Amino acid sequence: METNGFPNPLWKVDDENRVEMTKDELAPAFTHLINLAAERFGAKVLWCTDDFFAEKENLIKPEKAIFIPEKFTERGKWMDGWESRRKRTEGHDIAVIQLGAAGTIKGFDVDTSHFLGNQPEYCTIEACYAPDGDWENAAWVEVLGKTMLNPGSQHLVESSVGAKARDLAPLFTHVKLHIHPDGGVARLRVYGEVQRDWSDVRTMHASSIHDLASAQNGALAIQCNDMFFSHMNNLIMPGRGVNMGDGWETKRNRTPNNHDWVIVRLAHKGILKKAMIDTAHFKGNYPESFTLEGCMSDSDDLSNAKWSTLIERAKLQAHHEHAYEKELVCKEPVSHVRLNIFPDGGVSRMRLWGTIV
């Protein structure tokens, strides 16, 4: 399948953390979006009814759940997930997660990896919009109906609430995972799109500088030609990369004159003023050089986009933050940028600061 004149890959991650192409049915479209419930994205597990066997904070860990057969704690078998005790009273168990940023919710991954015989029978999920943090008194709505949970499985399911148009879908800041009646869930991923309110910035601080390539502000990596080793959305995550896997890395390409690329929809249309390309942890596999291009489009259909060069081809170094200001030429507003790397390799983060239009 192709969109916007470029390949639109779907992927899965194998046991060696390599990204492989796969069929649509194995990777729903919503898995291309940001995991709003990721720990590294700023999400927090605020409360749960019970985490006797395994801590609620494990739900939002970045790595895949693991199993250590010989590991036990004073309370029983150690499990890499959230696990409540066997319920002997009426009711069911609940966990509340504060998302890393307000956004629309498109789908979920309810992962019961390694919970075999101790997974919940089924789950439901509610969400609310409580930007002031008062989730206890917020109005909750069901965003995932009754979903049966299999042992040791990923359950990729679409949200039951939300319009297809990102600007019309309801916004949420918190989710509430209900497991019936008890048991264990390894990870919960909440896929969606960040929606920041820019109204105050437009009216009061039009000249202020913002990172328009930040996922927390609403940027999204929408296309790339290759992400064999790690995901393209890592480029726009908050903070500095923690290791080589926490970046965008392509496979070694033996094609003469090859270059790899990724396209990011900016958080807001704007004039770019400064840039930073960070190759943190990429020491023997960083790109030799890069260029940065920009275009203006009202949609992600870029088949007829007119790209202009924002930064001419520049050399890169290993494990280094590269800052650009004089070299960045952006005279007209841009909505999308394309990072080209030569010939291949890994980039940890891309920051693009500018004024919004």
Tell me the torsion sign for CA atoms 130, 132, 135, 139. negative
Q: Which of 209, 336, 186, 323 has its CA nearest to residue 269?
A: 336
Whole-number Å distance between alpha carbons of 238 and 40? 7
pLDDT for the residue numbered 166: 57
The pLDDT value given to residue 7? 34
What the chain holds in terms of domains, given with CATH numbers, is 33-194 (2.60.120.260), 199-356 (2.60.120.260)
Burial of 256 (0-12, 13-18, 19+ CB in 10 A): exposed
Cβ–Cβ < 8 Å for 286, 345: yes
Tell me what pLDDT residue 74 has.
95
Angle among Cα 190, 236, 197 to the nearest 5 degrees reads: 70
By the 8 A CB rule, do 336 and 6 touch?
Answer: no
In which band, very low, low, confident or very high, does the pLDDT at 11 lie, cut at 50, 70 and 90?
A: very low
Q: What is the mean pLDDT of residues 203-215?
A: 83
Q: Which pLDDT score is estimated for 299?
A: 96
Residue 302 contacts by C-beta under 8 Å, 6 or more apart in sequence? 4, 5, 6, 223, 263, 295, 336
Residue 163 pLDDT > 80: no
The mean predicted confidence, pLDDT, of the chain is 91
Asked if the model's pLDDT at residue 151 lies above 60, the reply is yes
Task: Give the CA dihedral 104, 263, 331, 317, nearest 10 degrees.
Answer: 120
Q: Residue 27 above 90 pLDDT?
A: no
Asked if residues 107 and 36 have their Cβ atoms less than 8 Å apart, the reply is: no
Three-class secondary structure of residue 200 per DSSP: helix
Digit-coded pLDDT (tens) for 333-343: 999 999 999 99
Q: Give the model's confidence band at 167: pLDDT under 50 very low, under 70 low, under 90 confident, else very high.
A: low
Distance CA 209, CA 329 (A): 16
CA-closest candidate to residue 81, choices 110, 47, 54: 54
Q: 169 falls in which pLDDT band (50, 70, 90)?
A: confident
pLDDT, position 59:
98
**Percentage above 90 pLDDT, the chain:** 87
**So what's the pLDDT on residue 231?**
94
Q: Select from 20, 151, 179 the least CA-distant residue to 95.
A: 179
Q: Output the DSSP codes for 157-173.
A: EE-SS--SSTTTSPPEE
Closest Cα partner for 17 from 224, 247, 252, 280? 247
Which pLDDT score is estimated for 197? Answer: 86
Indicate whether 3 pLDDT > 60: no
Query: Which pLDDT tens digit goes with each residue over 40-76?
Result: 999 999 999 999 999 999 999 999 999 999 999 999 9
| Region 79-84 average pLDDT | 98
pLDDT at 88: 94
Please tell me the predicted confidence (pLDDT) of residue 219. Answer: 98
Is the pLDDT at 202 greater than 70? The verdict is no
DSSP H helices, 228-313, are none
What tens digit of pLDDT does each residue of 272-317 get?
999 999 999 999 999 999 999 999 999 999 999 999 999 999 999 9
Give tens-digit pLDDT for 224-282: 999 999 999 999 999 999 999 999 999 999 999 999 999 999 999 999 999 999 999 99
CA proximity to 270, closest of 230, 324, 213: 213
Residue with tokens 């004073």: 74
Q: How far apart are CA 357 and CA 347, in angstroms?
A: 28
Report whether pLDDT(15) > 60. Answer: no
Contacts for 188 with CB less than 8 Å, ≥ 6 apart = 37, 59, 60, 95, 97, 108, 109, 110, 111, 175, 177
Confidence at residue 21, expressed as pLDDT on a 0 to 100 scale: 41
